[in-house]
């Protein structure tokens, strides 16, 4: 029935994941929950902390963490529960406030006390403010201690050979130089921007190479909170004629991340760290620099996400300026999109061709999200600074009020990215059975739930308070109302092909039926709609083969969706 060669003990593991960043760890958790043997190798020593650069975990990532059983731990490790989530804009951190987007603290949100921009988002897991510094250890502990994944620190990938039947990885201990080899059936490069895996398989990045340059300083200061002349915020954007930047509260107390953006005429080598921090803060504050990192804002996407048995995910596959907060989050979705496909092929209920769908689905999303992030950046840059922005007196006040109002009207899109969270659609997948309906057009801040194949299955709360996605099975799920007879036939056909299927009957849930407007909706293990119908397709076998990666002329639905998704922003 299947052309898949079963896993043998000749491999050290089925899937070798290079890089224990958030993307590699998410892939490890996903594979482990699917019962797949995987191993993570990480160049850093076990006690080396992550850089605190990423501070937003999207609602979609939180949904993924919920499924993997780690959402609660991630919530607890974020910004303290009573710390405001506001996004503020100021001339300097200790200067004039220009405006703010109010966001409640986690405890206010939990108690339903305060209204937030994202209150109406259809999810039990709102976006969460947590630094990568705290997120990575939580994910790593869950992967290794709870799910039993082996994570090898001090293991830098230095060589890779894909032999067709397996991949051999050469590893080096960065301290001792000692070398060893591991064999795996598949290797996934989750090794970040400078990916050694990407280089080893000859994949190139393409796009816009230098949108901005920033020195990000991780610092400790008790003074900063004490001297703040206004209410605390989670993130404060700094805009003035001398220096742009951003100050992020990491622990709600003394740890901060201070981004200092360079002007076009400045070089990293010529910038004095303390001087640029002072320009962002607007005063000389008592502080210690813990670490500083220089980075260039880009929009780059890999030309391939897969070569043979080697795959790329996360920053190894795409890099963009962190507007909208979606670099890591897109990588997390790469991980779970690839995870179920690898598991299905390794377990033998899908054919290896299924793995081609990973690049077909995720690479266009890399392009789309990278353009969205670049647009958000351009929007903010386009708001013209008035000359009197920092002036005293009525002229200055008027300038700040008018500028602040224009800025907020522009920025609201960046902090209400409901479309980026839930509105991503796979438009050209070979393993999705599209129908004649037009796909929803992607917009950063707009989302209309849809069961159109390629969309995230609509999430909705049930009458007993539970959420629909929590009822989905670990693999495919058929969501049914009315057509129970057809569902029974579907189940038998799925069994014949070894396709693991959970059937859930939503007939007694009117609000779900309203969203799931067709009586049969087939949802994949990554919560994407694979197919829907009023009744069984004319060729049920062909449909089941399509979603398992067996392409066929007579498979249900067209091989490619007939209409475009519309222009990217």
Ligand X SMILES: Cc1cc2nc3c(=O)[nH]c(=O)nc-3n(C[C@H](O)[C@H](O)[C@H](O)COP(=O)(O)OP(=O)(O)OC[C@H]3O[C@@H](n4cnc5c(N)ncnc54)[C@H](O)[C@@H]3O)c2cc1C
User: Binding of ligand X at residue 150 (CB under 6 A)?
Assistant: no
User: Binding of ligand X at residue 85 (CB under 6 A)?
Assistant: no
Minimum distance, C-beta of residue 259 to ligand X, in the bound complex (Å): 6
Minimum distance, C-beta of residue 501 to ligand X, in the bound complex (Å): 32
User: Binding of ligand X at residue 87 (CB under 6 A)?
Assistant: no
Edge-to-edge order in the sheet of strand 318-320: 97-101, 87-90, 235-238, 244-249, 255-261, 205-220, 288-302, 318-320
Minimum distance, C-beta of residue 62 to ligand X, in the bound complex (Å): 12
User: Binding of ligand X at residue 256 (CB under 6 A)?
Assistant: no
CA distance 342 to 187: 10
Minimum distance, C-beta of residue 24 to ligand X, in the bound complex (Å): 5
User: Binding of ligand X at residue 328 (CB under 6 A)?
Assistant: yes
- CA distance to 245, 269, 274, 297, 381, per residue, from 262 (Å): 9, 11, 13, 11, 14
**Of positions 16, 23, 249, 424, contacts ligand X by CB under 6 A:** 23
**Of positions 17, 157, 418, 523, contacts ligand X by CB under 6 A:** 157
User: Binding of ligand X at residue 322 (CB under 6 A)?
Assistant: yes
In which residue are the tokens 């079963």 written? 6
User: Binding of ligand X at residue 520 (CB under 6 A)?
Assistant: no
> Which is nearer to ligand X, 192 or 519 (by Cβ)?
192
> Which is nearer to ligand X, 201 or 512 (by Cβ)?
201
- Which contiguous run of DSSP H or E holds residue 141? helix 132-141
- CA distance to 433, 455, 458, 512, 528, per residue, from 449 (Å): 18, 8, 5, 11, 12
CA distance 97 to 107: 25
Nearest by Cα to 310 from 428, 153, 169: 169
Interactions with ligand X, residue window 185-224 (CB under 6 A): 190-192, 196, 216
User: Binding of ligand X at residue 417 (CB under 6 A)?
Assistant: no
User: Binding of ligand X at residue 249 (CB under 6 A)?
Assistant: no
> Which is nearer to ligand X, 155 or 221 (by Cβ)?
155
DSSP per position, 335-358: HHHHHHHHHHHHHTSS-GGGGHHH
Alpha helices in 19-83 (DSSP H): 22-33, 59-67, 71-77
Backbone angles phi, psi at 183, to 5 degrees: -115, 135
Q: Binding segment for ligand X among 13-21, 348-356, 373-381, 513-521 (CB under 6 A)?
A: 13-21
Task: Write down how long the chain is.
Answer: 569
Q: Binding segment for ligand X among 16-24, 62-70, 229-237, 416-424 (CB under 6 A)?
A: 16-24
Kind of pairing between the strands at 205-220 and 255-261: antiparallel
> Which is nearer to ligand X, 178 or 558 (by Cβ)?
178
Binding site for ligand X (CB under 6 A): 18-24, 41-44, 53-56, 132, 156-157, 190-192, 196, 216, 259, 295, 314-315, 322, 325-329, 331
């Amino acid at each position: 029935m299947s052309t898949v060669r079963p896993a043998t003990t000749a491999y050290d593991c089925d899937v070798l994941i290079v890089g224990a960043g958030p993307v590699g760890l998410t892939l490890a958790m996903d594979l482990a929950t699917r019962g797949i043997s995987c191993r993570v190798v990480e160049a850093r020593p076990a006690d080396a902390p992550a850089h605190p650069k990423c501070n937003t975990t999207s609602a979609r990532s939180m949904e993924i963490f919920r499924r993997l059983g780690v959402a609660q731990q991630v919530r607890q490790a974020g910004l303290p529960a009573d710390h405001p989530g506001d996004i503020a804009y100021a001339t300097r951190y200790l200067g004039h406030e220009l405006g703010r987007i109010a966001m409640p603290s986690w405890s206010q949100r939990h108690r339903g006390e305060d209204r937030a921009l994202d209150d109406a988002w259809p999810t039990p897991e709102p976006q969460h403010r947590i630094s990568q510094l705290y997120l990575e250890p939580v994910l790593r502990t869950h992967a290794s201690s709870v799910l039993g994944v082996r994570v090898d620190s001090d293991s830098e990938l230095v060589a890779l050979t894909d032999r067709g039947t397996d991949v051999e990885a050469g590893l080096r201990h960065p301290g001792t130089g000692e070398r060893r080899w591991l064999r795996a059936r598949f290797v996934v490069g989750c090794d970040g921007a400078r990916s050694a895996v990407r280089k080893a398989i000859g994949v190139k990045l393409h796009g816009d190479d230098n949108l901005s340059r920033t020195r990000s300083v991780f610092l400790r200061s008790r003074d900063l909170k004490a001297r703040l002349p206004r209410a605390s915020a989670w993130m404060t954007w700094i805009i003035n004629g001398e220096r742009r930047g951003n100050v992020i509260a990491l622990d709600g107390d003394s740890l901060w991340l201070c981004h200092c953006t360079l002007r076009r005429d400045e070089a990293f080598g010529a910038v004095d760290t303390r001087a640029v921090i002072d320009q962002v803060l607007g005063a000389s504050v008592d502080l210690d620099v813990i670490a500083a990192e220089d980075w260039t804002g880009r929009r780059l996407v890999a030309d391939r996400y897969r070569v043979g048995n080697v795959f790329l995910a996360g920053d190894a596959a795409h890099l963009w300026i962190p507007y909208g907060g979606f670099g890591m989050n897109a990588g997390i979705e790469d991980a779970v999109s690839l995870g179920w496909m690898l598991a299905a092929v390794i377990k033998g209920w899908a054919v290896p061709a299924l793995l081609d769908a990973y690049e077909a689905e995720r690479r266009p999303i890399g392009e789309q999200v990278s353009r969205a992030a670049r647009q958000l950046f351009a929007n903010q840059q386009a708001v013209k600074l008035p000359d009197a922005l920092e002036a005293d007196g009525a002229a200055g006040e008027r300038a700040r009020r008018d500028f602040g109002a224009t800025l907020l009207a522009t920025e609201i899109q960046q902090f209400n990215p409901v479309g980026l969270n839930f509105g991503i659609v796979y438009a050209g997948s070979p393993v999705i059975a599209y129908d004649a309906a037009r796909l929803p057009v992607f917009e950063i801040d707009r989302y209309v739930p849809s069961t159109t194949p390629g969309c995230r299955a609509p999430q909705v709360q049930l009458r007993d308070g539970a959420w629909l996605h929590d009822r989905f099975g670990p693999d495919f799920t058929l969501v049914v109302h009315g057509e129970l007879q057809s569902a029974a036939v579907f189940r038998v056909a799925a069994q014949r092909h070894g396709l693991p299927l959970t059937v859930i009957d939503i007939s007694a849930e009117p609000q779900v039926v309203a969203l799931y407007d067709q009586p049969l909706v087939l949802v994949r293990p990554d919560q994407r709609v694979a197919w829907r119908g009023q009744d069984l397709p004319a060729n049920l076998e062909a449909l089941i083969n399509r979603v398992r990666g067996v392409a066929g002329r007579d498979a249900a639905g067209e091989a490619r969706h007939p209409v475009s998704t519309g222009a990217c922003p």
